Amino acid sequence: MSNSIAYPVFRTPDPDAALSVARQLVEFGVRPYSEVSVEAEVPTLAEVGRLRDALPEAWFRSDTAPFGTGVEPDLARSVRAGELPDDLAGVAEHLPFSVSMLDQPVGSVEAHFAAAVGPHPAEIHWSALEWPPAPERDLRGEYKHAEVTLLLNCDSRELGERAATHLVLVHVRRRNRDGYEERYAQWLAEQFGQQVIGPPQED
């Protein structure tokens, strides 16, 4: 079993610039079967209602909602935006919510989601890409762990503490931490005038 390791290569207060750099990396490795998933943490009922209306195809879930109560909506499992009640007061005890759209076609949801999510910690994650080899750098091609992540309003894939900036991460296969991973991430970043700018994040 193998895992990915993700290196930060671009940070900016401009979400449009961050999305642009992330898309450049994605285009470098995109394949017909590549996918994108998005997720955000939503702390208030007002914002749950706003995102329910702005993202009608999204799914909502709460980590604090109990399983097996028979009460609808069953927020312990993901429910579609349209299944949330108009009056959200009855689900207030289960805040915060996560909102997500998983395994979507590349290019189908990213811009709308980034605009809709507002100030909340969020992630746009592209998977099933392919990184080419770079024989001149002794770098092999990568398939399974060729991924890109854009973190909006935060610095961690755990979507924790809010930040005033947005961060682009490039993923490669985690090996034996002998420097190969960072060299590969650095080479990928260099293709677009960027560089590794900090320590990696691991799955």
Tens digits of per-residue pLDDT, 167-195? 999 999 998 778 899 999 999 999 999 99
202 pLDDT higher than 70? yes
Confidence class for position 71, pLDDT limits 50, 70, 90: low
**Domain positions in the chain:** 4-43+97-202
Closest to 97 measured CA to CA, from 44, 37, 23: 44
Condensed to tens digits (0 to 9), the pLDDT of residues 81-122 reads 999 999 999 899 999 999 999 999 999 999 999 999 999 999
How does strand 59-61 pair with strand 97-105? antiparallel
| CB burial of residue 178 (10 Å; 0-12, 13-18, 19+) | exposed
Query: Angle at Cα 28 formed by Cα 25 and Cα 34, nearest 5°?
Result: 90
pLDDT single digits (tens) 23-32? 999 999 999 9
- In angstroms, the CA 107 to CA 131 distance is 19
Considering the entire predicted model, what is its pTM? Answer: 0.94
Query: How confident is the prediction for the chain on average, in pLDDT?
Result: 94
